[in-house]
Amino acid sequence: MKALLAGAAAFLAFGAASAQDLRPVTESLTAQDIERVMEEAGLSPTMTFDADTGAPVATGNADGVIFVVRAVDCEGNPQRCGQLVMFANFDLRRPITDRDFRIVNSFNDGNKNGRAYVLEGSAQIGVDYVIDLTGGVTDEHIRNRLDRWPGIIGKFRQDMQQAYAGS
């Protein structure tokens, strides 16, 4: 009887784990998929395509900040893409300073999500974030990653504003 109960418990445990493992996964997204997931995340997408490669490109809005999503690692027709590179650039309307580099480096040192950068010669700084679908991910994973993006932009803007407050 103990063996039967142990077997039933093992079966139930395995069955529960298997149900979790059977969630649909994707390794790539089409332009239509990108538009759908961005819309579901409340990021107000407008879709276009790269003139040279035909890869999907979207613009979106996160808390009033316009950003771009470039689909990369694309193939097929329609193109299915394995990575989304999201970025937002900010025009400082002045030359880049050493202080800007320090703020960007500090952001990068203190944040595991998102990466800040300086576009030398353009008076712009920015932040980016990559969603990699390699190996397959669930829709929930994609939603969770997209949900982080507005916070990454907000944190970067906050760091810049605090660094220059009162200067």
User: What pLDDT, on the 0 to 100 scale, is given for residue 70?
Assistant: 98
How far is Cα 30 from Cα 80, in angstroms, rounded to an integer?
5
Assign domain 2-29+75-164 to a CATH class: alpha beta
Each residue's pLDDT tens digit, 114-123? 999 999 889 9
* Least confident range of 23-27, 34-38, 68-72, 149-153: 23-27
Short-list 38, 74, 37, CA closest to 56: 74
Domain boundaries, the chain: 2-29+75-164
Q: What is the pLDDT averaged over residues 30-37?
A: 96
How far is Cα 149 from Cα 131, in angstroms, rounded to an integer?
10
Model pTM score: 0.83
Short-list 133, 135, 158, CA closest to 143: 133
User: What pLDDT, on the 0 to 100 scale, is given for residue 165?
Assistant: 87
Asked if the model's pLDDT at residue 67 lies above 80, the reply is yes
Question: Do residues 133 and 27 touch, judged by C-beta distance below 8 A?
Answer: yes
User: What pLDDT, on the 0 to 100 scale, is given for residue 23?
Assistant: 81
Each residue's pLDDT tens digit, 11-21? 455 555 555 56
Question: Do residues 58 and 46 touch, judged by C-beta distance below 8 A?
Answer: yes
Task: Please provide residue 156's backbone torsions phi and psi, each rounded to the nearest 5 degrees.
Answer: -65, -45
Asked if the model's pLDDT at residue 8 lies above 80, the reply is no
